Structure 1
Amino acid sequence: MKQISLIVLACFFSNVSAHAQDFAAFQAKQLIHRGDTLPYRILYPDGYDPQKQYPVLFFLHGAGERGNDNASQLTHGAALFLKDSVRQAFPAIVVFPQCPTESFWSNVDIQSQADGRREFSFRTGGKPSEGMRLFLRLVKHTLRNEAVDKSRIYIGGLSMGAMGTYEALRRKPRLFAAAFAICGGDNTFNVKKYAHVPLWIFHGEQDDVVPPTHSHAIVAELKRIGANPKYTFYPTANHNSWDAAFAEPELLPWLFSHTKM
């Protein structure tokens, strides 16, 4: 029995070590600007050559992964980009910034209702939040200092990060070649500013954290003004619709197929 326990423990620690080693491929860095710090992790393609140019994907995490440990932001999505098949098929620079604990990626007011639900009010203007301000500075830094193909810059995010994705598209409408947003939301008055950007929207119809009506409204407005967004609504998924979205076999082929003219 003791021998079996030792074998189990050995396997457990081996798996933990392998997991940690995998995520260590995302190099830990920091952007420091005027006394503020934005932690981020960056994954370079296998055989990265700074003399070449690579597409870059910025991924914005949800509210639960805020902080300054420079690790929590890898909780959702990072494993997808570490798959050998993905790294071979889509050699790209992948960046996971971490939003400060007291900030948000987007300018959104959240009010708790008596029934326990939350009401989201998305703004149409104003200065960016601290998180968004630092993120936009990171984008500028990355494009200046990494071997980036500036015609293939992408962004995606989930929940709070999807809200930040819409805001980044609004603030930098000429920058991104394509984007995806999972269980997010935005003010429909903002939609016209990024209607030209290829966009794939995901949401769970049973989401009791961020209502799917927000994504439905964005899709409806994009269609109304003549855009042709991709969208996938999962009938039985709750808030963690990102599990299903990351499992979509066409997500990355679709994303990386776009080039900004």
Structure 2
Amino acid sequence: MRILSSILLLVVLSFEMKAQDISKFKDETFIYKGDTLPVRVLYPKNFDATKKYPLVLFLHGRGESGNNNKSQLIHGSKLFLEKQDEFPAIVVFPQCSKDSYWANVNIVTDKEKGKRHFNFQQGGKPTKAMSLLLAYLKELKKLAYLDEDRFYVGGLSMGGMGTYELLRRQPNTFAAAFAICGGDHVKNVRKYAHKVNLWIFHGAKDDVVIPEFSLLIHEELKRLGANPKYTVYPDANHNSWDPAFKEPELLPWLFSHKK
């Protein structure tokens, strides 16, 4: 009985710690033309509005979509919390609604095999979620405490796709970016090839968003004369964000860049 009580206590404490960590990301919303973008914002410790801070936008994957303004913190938030002292920044986790998508991509599901096929679009109008994000970013640029020479963006899966989309729509905004198991239309690559420092991650065994998407982007960047970082994890499937977040050089590399 004591053992069971101890286990239950540990579980309760674990949930309390998670809730406490989440609470460090301030619950905010952005409303634009009648649509709402839920956002969670992590401010530096001892935040001082008279100082300048880097901005990090993190775009979540499809599984974290919704409007609860919590799910988007499942992956990645721990990394920025643990490194707050070393890398003080304004870290923003927006949440995409379930009826939209970060990227302009046509998704076809194979009814027999249940597999999704991603057809990335060249150009085109932004989705509702991307439109909200672009409007929100425009407002962020007005904040005096954000250093526009140190804007960064990153994301995983759908968020990796959204990262590429944001780079092509805002090629002069970001100093560096990272995309985990994402994808883009190859002809879009030229729009950001020489504008931003990029680190691409993918799992070699990914059967959700195939690794060829990242490979094609990497090859096109190299063909255009860019020099991206490119990491493929031989044993990782779609959850390549797990080893990516453990990369000791990810944040030092990201924050080392300026426009």
Deviation string 1:125-183 (CA, Å, 9 cap, x unpaired) is 11100000001111112222361011000000000000000000000000000000000
Q: Does 1:107 align with 2:104?
A: yes
Cα distance change of structure 1 residues 116 and 10 upon mapping to structure 2, 3 Å threshold: closer
Separation (CA, whole Å) in 2 of partners of 1:75 and 1:189: 32
Query: Which letter does structure 1 place at the counterpart of 2:14?
Result: N
**In structure 2, the residue corresponding to 1:88 is in which secondary structure?**
coil
After TM superposition, list the pairs within 5 Å mapping 1:1-261 onto structure 2: 1=1, 3-83=2-82, 86-113=83-110, 114-145=112-143, 147-196=145-194, 197-260=196-259
CA shift at 1:120, angstroms? Answer: 1.1
Q: Which runs of 5+ in 2 are unaligned?
A: none
RMSD between aligned residues: 1.1
Deviation string 1:48-100 (CA, Å, 9 cap, x unpaired) is 100000001000000111110000000100011111xx111100110000001
Q: How many residues align?
A: 257
- Percent identical residues: 58
With structure 1 as the length reference, what TM-score do the two structures score? Answer: 0.96
**In structure 2, the residue corresponding to 1:144 is in which secondary structure?**
coil
Q: Which runs of 5+ in 1 are unaligned?
A: none
With structure 2 as the length reference, what TM-score do the two structures score? Answer: 0.96
Larger mean Cα displacement after TM superposition, 71-80 or 107-116: 107-116
CA shift at 1:8, angstroms? Answer: 3.0
**In structure 2, the residue corresponding to 1:201 is in which secondary structure?**
strand
Deviation string 1:1-43 (CA, Å, 9 cap, x unpaired) is 2x44333323321221111111100000000111110000000
Separation (CA, whole Å) in 1 of partners of 2:160 and 2:28: 23
